[in-house]
Amino acid sequence: MTRSPDDDAPRHGVIVLAAGSSSRLGRPKQLVTVEGEPLVRRAVRFALATSPLDAVVVTGAHVEGLDQALHGLAVRHVRCGDHAQGMSASLRTGLAALAPGCEAALVVLTDQPALDAAHLAALVSAWRLAPVHAAASGYADTLGVPAVLPRAWFTDVATLQGDRGARDLLRARRAEVEIVAAPALAADLDTMGDLAHWGGHAD
């Protein structure tokens, strides 16, 4: 059998964080429909296009709606019992659930309507060129998610607290981060004004 040039490339897993209660928006933003598709399904579909070794979506609130929105996609659903503690709790749950063969985790949110598959592929490519480093999105003069976090960082990520996720760690270890610019991702979805701007709707 002919081997693909990517056969020896390090393998990553995907963690899609979809456990939030969307208190600012007042309705589950994971289920907001943009361009005819729920944001959570778009995020998972784009992440799966990077050909991960494993893929999990972390749920908490609105579980029933998420199950329906993700029907037919090859992603495992993992419930975060303490999702009310913030994004860090969801991230810990996702890391713990990821298959041990994954050498990094591509972490994706569901409130970035400008996200596309090409950016996630660029993050994975940047990480593979320097797999001991992370690869993070650069927008709004900061580093953030989506980001690829190498397994060597998992222990530090697991100590994070509150609703900050991996952003503080990416800043602290900036010298070990490959940056992939994505200025459009600065616009997220938190308020009804954001919802109107993106032409989305929530049932």
Write down all domains in the chain, each with its CATH number in brackets: 13-197 (3.90.550.10)
Per-residue model confidence as pLDDT tens digits over 106-147: 999 998 889 999 999 999 999 999 999 999 999 989 899 999
- Per-residue pLDDT at 190: 59
Question: Strand 54-59 to strand 134-139: parallel, antiparallel, or no bridges (unpaired)?
Answer: unpaired
User: How confident is the model over 64-75, as pLDDT tens digits?
Assistant: 788 889 999 999
Looking at residue 6, its pLDDT comes to 59
CA-CA distances (angstroms) from residue 64 to 26, 38, 81, 106, 184? 17, 14, 15, 24, 30
- Quote the pTM value: 0.88
- With the C-alpha atoms ordered 194, 42, 167, 85, is the resulting torsion angle positive or negative? positive
In this prediction, residue 167 has a pLDDT band, given cuts at 50, 70 and 90, of confident
